[in-house]
Every structure is written in C-alpha cells, then in structure tokens.
Amino acid sequence: MKDEHATEAQDWVGAPTAVPLGRLDVSRIRERNRKKRLARLFVFLLVPFFYLVYRQFTNPIQLPHISPQLLLVLPMLFMMMLFMGYALYLLFTTRSPHVLVRPEDIEVGLDEVRGLDTQVGEVQRTLDVFLGYASYREQLGGNPRRAVLLEGPPGTGKTYLAKATAKSASVPFLFISGPAFQTFWQGMSAMRIRSYFRTLRKLARRDGGAIGFIEEIDAIGSSRMGVAGASPERLTSDGQPGGHGPVVSRFMGSGDSGLINELLIQMQSFDQPRFFRRMRNRFVEWMNGFLPREKRMKVGKPEYHNILVFAATNRADMLDAALLRPGRFDQRLYFDPPTRRSRRELIDFFLDRRSHHEQLDREEIRDQLARDTLGYTPVMIEHLTDEALLVGIKNGRRTMNIEDIYEAKLNEEIGLKQPVVYTDGEREAIATHEAGHATVAHFLGKDRKLEVLSIIKRRSSLGVLTHGDTEERFTRTRSEIEALIAIALGGMVAEEEFLGESGTGPASDLAAATELATHMVGSLGMAGSLISYDAMIDGPLSTKNLTGKVLSDADGKARVEQILEAQRSRAREVLTERRQVIEALRDALVERDELVGGEITDVIEAALAIRAAEGSEGEEGQIRMGPPDPS
C-alpha cells in the first residue's frame, strides 16, 4: 500500500494540469470514510427493521393507552428535564478545557531542539530539579522552581520548547490557551482556572509530577491597572475630588480582574490539601478546642505537589506585577530570533528532513542561507523550506534547490508576482525610481549587499529594492542610519532628476525615512539634543507612538526636517555624479524586469567601466590637442 501511494504521488508531482479526482490522499481518505459511514448506517437501520418485522409476525406491537392525567404531568416533566440539562451544561462548563498530552505523543525532546541552546540549558537545569525535587527540598533545603515564563516574538519556539520539556520529563503535559479559560457566565472563568490546577495536582500525585502550559497567558493575566474607561475630574488642594485643582483621569479596572486574582491564588496554592485531609484537619482543630494547649493534636503539613507551570506570551509588559514576582513565576526566559550559528543549526535540521538537491548539502551554500535569513524565527525557517519544496514541485521536480529557496524567500518577504501591464511611461518611471534606490545604496550604504532589484508588482509595491547587511549586526551608528535615510530618498530624487518631477511612488519611502529620522531625534540622541521622547509618560491623552511624539513638538519636527533635507542633498549629489549607473540600471530593468544578486553589481560595474574608459579617452584627447612640442 505504501508503494502504491508513493507511485500515485510520483505521478502527480509536477503535472501541468489539475490532479484527477481520487488520485490524492485527501480524496482517497474521504471516499473510504464515506463508505464506512454508509456501512454503519446500513447496519444501524437493518437491525431495528428485522426486529420490527419479527415482532409484527409473532407478537404485533400495541400502542399504549395514555391517560389524560399523564398529559398534564408531561409539561412538568419536560421543564424538569430542561432544568437538569441546564444544570449539566453549567457543570461541564466549569470543567477545565485543557488538552492532556502524553509524553509518548510528543515527537521531539530537549535533545532534538535546535537553535535554542541558552533556553534549553536553563530549562534542563529546571527540569533536573523538578525530577529530583525530594532530594532538593529535603537534603539541600531549597525550593524548586514552580513556574517559568517564556516571552518573545511569535514563532521563536516557546511552545515547542515546553512540549519538548514534557517529553524529556516523561510526565503528563496539560496544554491550554489563556482565552479558553474565559466564558460567558460570570464566575465560571475562575472555576475553570481552579479546575485546571486541581487536575494538575491530581496528576502530580498519581505520576510523581505534572507540567502545565498556558499559551497566551496575557489573555487572563493582564495588569489590573488596565483602563476600561477614564473620566477626567479636578482635585482640591488636599487631593479630594472637586475644586479647582489640576485635572486628572480616574481609571476603572477591567471586568477580568477576577481572572487574574484567581490565577494569583492558584499559582500560590500548589500545595492545597486534598478534600479528606482538609476534613481531617478541621476535625482536629475542632477537637483541639476542647484540649489544653500541651495536649493538642498536630495538624499535618500540606502534601507537596510536584508541579511545573510554563506560560508563554509575546506581551510580557501587559502582565500583572504580582504574577511576575518570585514564588509565582520564578524565572523569565526571553526568546530572541536565532543568531547566525543557530540559524545554521536550524537549516541543517529542516533540510535533512526534506527532499533536496545535492547542492544544498554543500557547506558554503548552507552558510549563505544562514547569512541571508537574518531575523528569521525557527518557524519562519521551517516554513521557508516547506514553501521551497512546493516551488520545486511546481517546477516539475521532487526536490528543492537553492533557486527554489530564494524564490520562496522572495515570495514570503515581498509577495507573489502579479502580472500587471504598465504603460511605457510608468515602466520607465518605476525603473528610474528603483535604479535611484540601488545607486544610492551601492555608493552610500555601508556594508550593504544588494539582493533584488525589480519592477514586478508584488502586493502593493510596484517595484522593490531589497538590501541587507553583509554581516550580522545588532547595533547601528549614526552614519549608517543616515545612509539608510538617503537610500530611502534615492527613488524620489531620481524621479526629480531624470523625469523632472516625482509621482506617488515615494510615499512609503518618505514614511520609512521619517520614522528613521524621528528615532534619531527622539530616542537615539543623534540630532544635537539628548532629550529622549521615550521618557514621556504615556497617559490617556498622550500618544505611545514615538514618531507622533516627535512630530507634535515644533523643535523635534524641525530637527527631523533638517535631517531629511540633508540626506536628500546627499542622495542628489550621488545621483548627479553617477548618472551613467542609473541609466544602466534603468535600461536593464526595463529590458529584464528583475535583477537578482550579482546581476545588479554586474550592471553597475559595467557602467563604471564604460565611464572610466570614456574618461581616459577624454584625457588622452586633451593631451593630443595640447601645444606642439617646441623641439
């Protein structure tokens, strides 16, 4: 059967036409399940049918006689059934909606995690204490970590690492999302939280330990200082409402404060005794009320529950401060996008599990991919390899190559190609605009590499220039940021120089340049002032946007305008001096639509070579036209 499926897959891979119905796994499985449903329905109806036929011939069925008194009771019975159904609904609503994942159901453990060396090492130490909690508590006198917060951008491996931890720990893993705790009924959400932690304690007693994972915990753990509404009012001199003092805004907490309160209690109450132990303790306390102090019975210590809770969020700044203190979340692990070395490990991991051309096994190719995927998260790298494999299938191959990966990368970052027919004037204007960007980037950009120069429409962009750092960088200097502003303004300047005026194309470029300039002014201290607009307190009447803060200030706006004008002058100076380069790039784009990697630099170097040759010929002509030799 497996060989048959592989043959079917081989038949349709790369087929230029639509796949015939019934040849794919989805159609085959759907047809098989349809036949099973028909068979079950046939059996379900056939048995009662033969039974009724048998009864009709042996002992005909007589309809029962219904008394009028029973008809009066039926509505009451119906109402009671509705009430019982509603009670059962409320009972099941209060149950925890978690998903129990067994260790054998998880494919990857901590040993197979790639690109998260720092986080894996710290989680491994936490897990070692979790598994040896009795020795750590009784012999060393320490308290094991009870909860770990995983924070970072989406797709950086938070959930993946938590599942791998459950696999390596070989204990039950209870997965739940924060919004799943929320219900329509008042108070039911808090009951779900109690049910979730009660289940964790039960599993920990049975299996020696349990791990809980709460995805998007900010949905139930947001700060209780959040604003649901604000009402401005004046205060008196002693701070009381009313009077003619300063205007303040009185904040009202959101309706979800009960959720965070219940979560705080449960995070602190892992060792809550069981029901029968609580009853015994109450009985002992009642008995101690009749006994003298020296003869009172001791109440046993609460049973320790070996529970470890992981929670993930990409908005840790929204969480309540009481939730983040030690004793609740004892540790916070931040997940950054992987470094170049980590990206190389991830590329090796994903490529080795997918069908690929032998060229992708070369070390220099994989190192190049690691350099060119700067800023990619593990999920993005995995998705890139999947998309590249689809590109290879679309081109009639069963393996992906390096060209497929870069085409998939371009499709993901910029968008799919859209077949749009430009007018001759638009085509020349767009090509001139993009050539201006590329020229400024080549001559002013510091350690920049030109990746793609295109006039093919993708998403909302009529043309695009993609460029990146030659090496992985984590900081920027003032000159580098100024170069990025000049590159952004290069397209508009090229239109003004070669077409006489600019069109609507530079709109997004101006937005990007303005944002960079406002960061120089308001956050980085690179515009003659050391005042940081980020230090402004955000309130109900102020904006959280740095660009808005800077541009709303007259002095800040003037500094931004000064930076933009200076960089436009730099871009104009470069483009005026390198007209041959812009013309060469423009003509190449008009002819080929898109230039990739070395094709861009080849056009630039060819234009510079022609210019150098013309300059040498001009100098030689001037020498020959000089005064005759006196001899």
Query: Quick one: pLDDT at residue 538?
Result: 56
Maximal CA-CA distance, the chain: 145
Q: Which of 598, 337, 597, 365 lies closest to 472 in space, CA to CA? A: 337
Residues 188 and 540: their CA atoms lie apart, in Å, by: 32
Strand partners, 177: 215
Residues 546 and 548: their CA atoms lie apart, in Å, by: 5
Residue corresponding to tokens 């009529």: 462
- Residue 111, Cα to own-chain centre: how many angstroms? 24
| Residue 242 burial (CB count, 10 A) | 9
Q: How confident is the model over 40-58, as pLDDT tens digits?
A: 888 888 888 888 888 778 8
Q: Which of 498, 485, 489 lies closest to 429 in space, CA to CA? A: 498
Residues 175 and 215: their CA atoms lie apart, in Å, by: 8
Angle 42-46-48 from CA coordinates, rounded to 5°: 135
Element (H, E) at 458: strand 457-458
Q: Which two tokens stand for residue 5?
A: 């499926």
Q: What secondary structure does DSSP assign to 51-86, as a single string?
A: HHHHHHHHS---PPPPPHHHHHHHHHHHHHHHHHHH
Residues 114 and 160: their CA atoms lie apart, in Å, by: 11
Query: Quick one: pLDDT at residue 100?
Result: 86
Element (H, E) at 333: strand 331-334
Element (H, E) at 31: helix 25-58
Residue ranges for the chain with pLDDT beneath 50: 1-22, 227-255, 539-543, 623-631
Residues contacting 113, CB < 8 A, separation 6+ = 120, 157, 160, 161, 164
**CA dist 335 → 6, 105, 377, 452 (Å):** 39, 25, 10, 30
**CA dist 226 → 233, 248, 319, 539 (Å):** 19, 16, 10, 12
Residues 405 and 552: their CA atoms lie apart, in Å, by: 44
Question: 452-487: string of b/e by CB count within 10 Å (b at 16+)?
Answer: bbbbbbbeebbbbbbbbeeeeeeebeeeebbbbbbb
Helices (H), 352-401: 363-372, 378-394
Type of residue numbered 345? E
Query: Quick one: pLDDT at residue 514?
Result: 95
Q: How confident is the model over 357-393, as pLDDT tens digits?
A: 999 999 999 998 998 888 888 999 999 999 999 999 9
Cβ contacts of 88-97, under 8 Å, gap ≥ 24:
90/185, 90/188, 93/183, 93/185, 93/188, 94/188, 94/191, 94/192, 94/195, 95/192, 95/195, 96/174, 96/176, 96/192, 96/193, 96/195, 96/196, 96/198, 96/199, 97/176, 97/180, 97/181, 97/192
